[in-house]
Amino acid sequence: MDADCPSVLQFCTASESTDWLQSVSTNINDLTLENIKKANKYSSPEDQIVHMGWVCENLLAKDSTHLHTSKFLVLKGSSLRVFNRPPVSASDWEQAESIHNLCEVLFKAHKLWVAEDCWTQAKLFRGQQQEAELRDGRALCFNVLLGHGHAHNYSVELGTDLNLWERAFQNAICMEVQRVGSKTYMCSSQGKVLCFVIDFESGFTCRECSSKVVIWRYRFSQLRGSSDDGKTRVKLLFQNPESKQIEMKELEFANLTAVLHCIHSFMAAKVASVDPVFTARKHLHS
């Protein structure tokens, strides 16, 4: 069985199908982990694979019908790579359908059921008709929002798989943020072209591009809120450490979505770096 020639297995009961699904998923995850370890042995520290595996991409056709297609996702080094089939040879890694910078990727999980036997729950509590709706709706799914504004919706069969992807994205993004240290974006404010720097250690800095003179600087902890027009403009609200007053900085970006995602990634990584639970979990899965 593969993505090109799928097969349908039928079972007498929903619980039996769940048991088989769990067993198959566990076996696949174990084999995937072995392949990741083998690949990482010959990869540089900055190009390690954090996680990879099959997911189902959920698409909406022009006539509003649901379409589902298999994709193979890889969290490797600085990027999220999307394949139609698993990469095997060195040349396969260059054949990704798309590659996205992890600092500009936003992951959102959707969990309608936390139990593993979601099919059983659907049958017992939602009825046969709504069970079909559940499969169309893909209860165990996650969105990957990209820096250029597009979003992809993927689903998995088990809650454990969804949790695994959620932890993997968190780890991969935090590792990449700490590796690059900072990201710089061109912006404009009051008619001036400026550089907006997001730095893991110092926070936010706005400076002149040519002279590099710092106009203002705030730490991550001073950010109190933000709002944007969904196009190019964003307002960042910072608290002055001395006066305790809120200071608003309005900036305009050509790639606003990428900047907002990057801010989220850096702040999440900063919080995770001082979270002992996250730190212990990251080392446990590394």
* Tens-place pLDDT, residues 106-163: 999 986 544 444 333 333 333 333 333 344 455 789 999 999 889 999 999 888 899 9
Nearest of 13, 44, 15, 284 to residue 167 by alpha carbon: 284
Q: In the beta sheet, which residues pair with residue 246?
A: 239
Report the percentage of the chain scoring pLDDT > 70. 83
pLDDT digits (tens, 9 = 90+) for 229-249: 999 999 999 999 899 999 999
pLDDT at 112: 55
| Integer Cα distance of 239 and 283 in angstroms | 34
pTM over 0.85: no
| Integer Cα distance of 114 and 166 in angstroms | 14
| Contact between 184 and 170 (Cβ < 8 Å) | no
92: how many CB neighbours lie within 10 A of its CB? 12
pLDDT digits (tens, 9 = 90+) for 250-285: 999 999 999 999 999 999 999 988 865 655 555 444
Kindly report the backbone phi and psi dihedral angles of residue 167, in degrees, each rounded to the nearest multiple of 5, phi listed first.
-65, -40
Task: Using the predicted structure, report yes or no on whether residue 90 has a pLDDT greater than 90.
Answer: no
Average pLDDT, the chain: 85
Can you list the domains of the chain with their CATH numbers? 14-179 (2.30.29.30), 181-284 (2.30.29.30)
